[in-house]
Chains A and B, each alone.
Chain A
Amino acid sequence: MKNFIHFFANRIGWGGLSYPVPSHANTFAYSLGGTTLIGFCILIISGIFLAQYYNPSPEEANQSVRYISEQAYLGWYVRGLHFWSMQLVTVCVALHLVRTFITASFKNPREINWIGGVILLGITGAFIFTGTVLKWDQEAYEALEHNLWAANKLGPLGLILSDNFTKSVSMLGRLYGIHTSFLPIIFFPLLGLHLFLQKLHGLSEKKPIENNNNKMIPFTDHLKHLAIYGVGALALVSTLAVIIAPPLGNTPVIGIEVTKPPWMFVWIFALENIWVPFLIFAPPAIFVFLFSVPFLERNNDTLISQRKLPVSIFIICILIFVALIIFGMISTTGHSM
């Protein structure tokens, strides 16, 4: 067996991946990006399976998801894997972003990688939104209604996201195309760039360079470590998939608004309760803020003790965000589209 592995390792250039990385690469905080990537791998594989059964026509979509859950061999399980992996990816992406900020890993020379990461975060959000609509139940329909409302308010800017763009394909069909074609096409090159820049600039130091006494380990060791995280992630989502089936409502009833969005979007719901147009302004405002982070904090300080103000502002933003999520969860609908 060892000879067999050695044979392949030589031929695929495994040894070329033995370049040194700091040993803290193997800590949980610095493995969040890798764990997110593993979560995406589970999403892709389970998504390919689901695509074999899913029908993106508004008349059939909900029934085809029900068919996956109740009739297709292992369909309920793979759908569960897809759903729970998405939850895992959301949590890991959020923690990855927080870790990157707290450790000042976005600073010179990693600004572009931070911006690439923020774009990947936006694409992840788009994946979740379009995936939510695809199950075509009441929650999905209302999510689409909000999207259409925002698109109409944006006028020509929102035309591409509105149902006026074309009458030849249903909005659901177009969102299915976006979920399975358009988003992956822009996601993977950006992910490649993110990984390339990570390799180019190396892992950020855990301590300032002058005090750095970190041990170095081969990158292959980090990959083996990530494989353990991967097995752990798969064990976790697989257990959840076996125990709890993802929610699926019936075919939507047009004209009423009775659901709330998934938890990762419920903060928008909370803001809409305060002022409905926040739906249009809040997400771009957050992304503008995230994009501007490397330009707002341009010094080379990396220790938290040297960055009390930016870290405090960031923590306050996180607390507001968490408060909005909780407020959205407990509040009742105070708006309608």
Chain B
Amino acid sequence: MTFNFNESPYQIGGSLADDHPTYVKRDADDKLFQAVLMGKLCYISNARQTGKSSLKVQTISKLTEQGLIGLDINLQGLVETDMSSEKFYFTLCQKIIDNLRRKFNLSIEVDLNSWWQQQSNLSRLYCFQKFIQEVLLQNNDKDIVIFIDEIDRLQDFTWCDDFLGLIRSFHDSRSTKHQYKRLTFVLIGVATPNELIQDTRQSPFNIGTDIELEGFRFEEVTPLINLLGNTIDNPERIMGCILYWTGGQPFLTQRLCQLVSQSEPIPVEDADKTIEELVKREIIDKCEHPDQQRHFEAIEKKIVNNFKSNINLLEEYKNILKFQEIPSSSIDNDVLIQLRLSGIIAKKQGKIKVFSKIYQEVFNETWIESKLDKIRPYDSSMKAWYQSNQKDESKLLRGKDLEKAIKLRQEKTLSVKDERYINASERMSDQRDKEIIVIGTFSLIVVSALTYMFVNYKYASCPIGERVIGLETSFNLPCSRFIISSGEREKLFISGTNFKLEQGVKYFKQKDYVKAQEAFLEAHYSDPTDPVPLIYYNNARARTGHFIQKNPYKIAVVIPIDAYEDVAKEILRGAADAQHEFNNLGGYKGRLLEIIIANDENNERLIRKVAQDLANQKDILGVLGHQASESSEAALPFYEKSKLALVSGNSSSSKLNHKDFPNFFRTISSTKSATEIYTQYITEYLSLKKIAIFYTQGSLYSETLRDDIEKAFQGEKKRICMGDAENPDSKDCQLDIPRQLALLRKENYKAAFLISSVKTNSIALAIARYNLQLPKELRLQLIGALTLSETATLEKGGEALEGMTIVSPCTPSSAYMRDSAKRWQQKKIQWRTATTYDAAQALIAAIKKSGDNPTREEVLKNLPSVSLSPQETSGVAVNWFNSEAPESNLNRKYCLYVIKDGIFKEKYPNKINTNGRD
């Protein structure tokens, strides 16, 4: 019995066999093959059904012809829910042995079960490494390429980072270990590099070759044309029409070829129309047909099920659909990656467009709107509002709807349109509330109304439940929060909300550290600029006890969270970097590092309370911080009493010296070193004989620097008090800025040195503003202190600070600076991050020196002898006790910077000479 269903040779779905007649060779084929032959780590991350696995099958077959061994590991049949790392590595080894035996006839003379048991004292990761090194690579002398397909299956496993890190390290070791030159990996899946791995320093994707798969081009599809040719007159013409509709998308192209080969012969003159009808009838109208439903479903799900950014993805896609083609630079990179991995768009020569005309029809405007309507609870009212040209206020959200929308905004990355709409609704609702208050106030008698407003004002910036009353020192913020947290406090930084962070805190409090870890890691991913999630993540990790002991080494970091958010973040980033690195390497002696975050707000009363508290927690081995010199000064007596070391990357006052404060260390040099540069600048490059010095009374830092300068500068100096940190009403310090500036001008001063303290930065800004209002030729050249080198102040200062010079610690570029910038997604890493990283590294080194069970006494004892090379720090060596300033690290030099266009530009003194005076 023979019959034939007019079977077509085209295959839709599934990978093509290596000798399949319809395989289409693309540029990526050669690129991958060459890269693998050169031993490069490759990855193919692309949408579903774009020919990834078929390319794998082809490449393995070609490699085999060349005498190489290509091992095909499909994680789909290997990885299981909740798989332990041990099970995974063991199964992986088994698969490798099996693969060698069955496909290459190479048997490995090792009983894996007993071999594995012999290694029971090793970590599982190392066990696998040993297997590769001592079993696989010893077995034969051929080059081995391991293809790992469906790599995204690893995504949810805690050991995924480790595994990918190991693959990277195999490649990194190629230069040193000869035998690793024979080993190459190819990773294949539907995940972005960043989705798979959190730690950019470990990521194999930093060094790999990205193989991008593009749609079939006409020149490439000869095999498909030849097969059409059996039944059709002008197959080239038909193929042109097919590609017009499919954009060369492999699945769609195979499918349409199949449909064409099964249909009646197509007359050449009607080709366009016939194919169009065929596409509409058999694909677009039947997108739910089982042969193609899954294909479209997969694309839809990848976009719609992306909970965090589905609205944004749909809005961006709408834009692309509308304009047909947009430059790739006009779209956020994350959005681009997500859309590309869904398969819906193609990127070619810097332009983005919808991958195929069929997608344009299936995922059309109606489709987008129906999805948005479902996801966005306020879809119709928002559209109505935009239709009214953003004027119809009745279409804005209020009450419960507004609350819902605000919650949505916290959880998702919304489109600009959404943000604008919700913001407008919020403003509207605020206004309404205010009106209500005003009406209410009038109904009260005047006195109580005023009291009411005053009370409200006083606590206005306090978040709910955070009212701290009784900190009556005058420069206090209305609200100072007492915070000491390893992971128990959400909202360390009030601005911004991180849903996962709050969830992690909940788990952390319940002591469910495994779940907390996951949530914190996601929180870190959601907002990579915030250092808190990563610290919390590592704290949870340190307490989990996976393969490690559960009692981590504890250190604390003290920062001004609310008063100087940017500074606090900069400091925390450095600490977080050191901790993350330490924990990633498995800690020391089986123990990881926990960092306790404490808030001192640079507020004396809070400092004392926090320092006392940290001193009392006996398992804390050392403290990083504080920011301001006066803060360190206030805290040090408590630390000294309890033998706790303080390592600061920030407090530079030369009065904080080893003699008076034996517990104090810093990774920068003191105000004395800074003074040298300041004086050099003033005398040699500005050629000035006299200088006005604005200082802050009662600030250790400001007074020290003032004294140091006065001592070093030989010319005439005028001392002006800009404020009193302790007593704002002090008679000596009532500064009338315009009068003072006029006076200085009269006395022929050309430059002013503004030594503000952390509390008087605002006064320095005011001086700068008044200075700016003067005619250009009357303005003073302003010189700033380290305290002004802070992002928020720079932003506030704006134009007034342009041209001001500041001396601050140099930050030579280094591997650390690059990696850290990448991790925190910063353009440039600030010096405080680098110096705090050094401080943390120094503390860690001291802990390591302190034996099996380090105590704070031993850490303190060992700190002076710590010596770190530039490779172990952010790029500048750290050592102490080699000079007249034993507590300072003189390796960290100061550099002269000038503020230009709102940022610091490094200025070498010899260049200032020519254009400095202006």
- Whether chains A and B associate is no
Q: Which residues of A are in contact with B by a Cβ distance under 8 Å?
A: none
